[in-house]
Amino acid sequence: MSVGSALSACSGLQSALQPSGHEAREVASLFWVMVVGAAVVWTVVIGVAIYATRLRPEPHGDAVGHRLILWGGVAFPTIVLAALLIYGLGLMPRLREAGEGLRIEVSGEQFWWRVTYRPKDGEAVVSANEIVMPVGERVEFALSSPDVIHSFWIPSLGGKVDMIPGRINRLVLKAEKPGVYRGVCAEFCGASHALMAFTVRALDKSAFEKWLTARPALAQQGKGRELFALHGCGACHRVSGTEAKGEVGPELTRFGERATVGAGLLPNTPENVARFIRETDTLKPRSKMPAYGALSNEDALEIASWLGRLR
Ligand code: CUA
């Protein structure tokens, strides 16, 4: 890995060392405390070794040797490691605080994310590969999987928690400032594990409520919609207000709002969406979606621009 890419991994949307949430902040301070603790242990141990072998190489006699072992080798590491352990355990209750009401269900699937909101009044809102959450509120995530183990991680907010078939794991996260963050799958789950990311949009409370309760605009008629139906896309994907009612693949209602296509793979532009439809197998190996290579680029673009208008 080049220095440039190593550094870019430490900044921006996806850095555990630039926390924007309470859990990530605790983890980042734990990281730095551990780094300092380890540096202190290393310095003392190396110092003692240099003292014993270089500065005073002559035989020390039993008393000095025992004192070095007792203080440098037993007492000092025990005190430092115990202090670090107590500090680490002290963080845990704060990481286990309950949510404040809002619960978002996220299901990790090969190789995308199903996101479901169940408002107290009104129908469930289903989305994919993008999580919208309010700022300043502890939100509970209910994490599951229908296929293999995935892991849910938003480095700048917190995580990572495994998504295990047959059980629901809980994670509470709070975004402290509005913004866009990036989440990833942190458990190897198959050929496209590395191509399984998602966007998190943290909005002010009122903007979030508005987003959650907004009715999707009526899907327009047109060639793209006809081609979508003709090629059977609706067998796997749902688009509210149309005959597409599939639930196998990502929900496409309001697809035009999303930042990316293919779970964080490419920016959501008509060209990229058309490419994704025609070259799914090479862009996303082992994805359950077949590549529609027989579709002409023009037809794929028609479908893509229709999808891009779904908001
Ligand atoms: Cu899903 Cu790795």
Residue 63 CA to ligand 1 center (angstroms) comes to 57
Within 6 A (CB) of ligand 1 lie 108, 111, 150, 185, 187-189, 193, 196
> What are the C-alpha distances in Å from 158 to residues 10, 80, 181, 182, 306?
15, 27, 11, 11, 35
CATH value at residue 53: 1.10.287
- Tell me what percent of the residues of the chain surpass a pLDDT of 70: 96
Residue 193 CA to ligand 1 center (angstroms) comes to 4
Its domain, for residue 63, covers 12-95
* The last residue of a domain, from among 159, 194, 213: 213
Residue pointed to by tokens 């405390």: 33
Residue 123 has pLDDT above 90, yes or no: no
Please tell me whether residues 82 and 132 are part of one structural domain: no
Quick one: residue 130, left, alpha or beta (phi over 0 = left, psi -120 to 50 = alpha)?
beta
- Check residue 11 and give its pLDDT: 52
In angstroms, the CA 246 to CA 117 distance is 18
Please tell me whether residues 45 and 128 are part of one structural domain: no
- Check residue 6 and give its pLDDT: 44
Residue pointed to by tokens 């793209």: 224
Residue 232 lies in a domain: yes
Residue 3 lies in a domain: no
Helix H or strand E segment including 210: helix 205-213
Contacts 24+ apart (CB under 8 A), 56-61: none
- What does the pLDDT look like over 194-246, one tens digit per residue? 999 999 999 999 999 999 998 888 778 889 999 999 999 999 999 998 999 99
Please tell me whether residues 145 and 113 are part of one structural domain: yes
Residue 150 lies in a domain: yes
Which value does ipTM take for this structure? 0.99
Q: Report the half-sphere exposure of 177 (CA within 13 A, side-chain side).
A: 8
Please tell me whether residues 247 and 182 are part of one structural domain: no
Q: For residue 148, give the ligand 1 atom closest to its CA.
A: 1
Q: For residue 188, give the ligand 1 atom closest to its CA.
A: 2
> What are the C-alpha distances in Å from 297 to residues 67, 273, 290, 294, 311?
78, 11, 16, 9, 23
Residue 162 lies in a domain: yes
Please tell me whether residues 172 and 237 are part of one structural domain: no
* The last residue of a domain, from among 61, 95, 129: 95
Query: DSSP characters for 128-180?
Result: ESEEEEEBTS-EEEEEE-SSS-EEEEETTTEEEEEE-TT--EEEEE-B-S-EE
Please tell me whether residues 185 and 240 are part of one structural domain: no
Residue 6 lies in a domain: no
CATH value at residue 113: 2.60.40.420
Note whether 200 and 175 are within 8 A (CB). yes
Q: How many domains does the chain have?
A: 3
Please tell me whether residues 262 and 179 are part of one structural domain: no
Q: For residue 190, give the ligand 1 atom closest to its CA.
A: 2
Residue 131 CA to ligand 1 center (angstroms) comes to 17
Please tell me whether residues 142 and 233 are part of one structural domain: no
Residues 165-193, mean pLDDT to the nearest whole number: 95
* The last residue of a domain, from among 45, 75, 95: 95
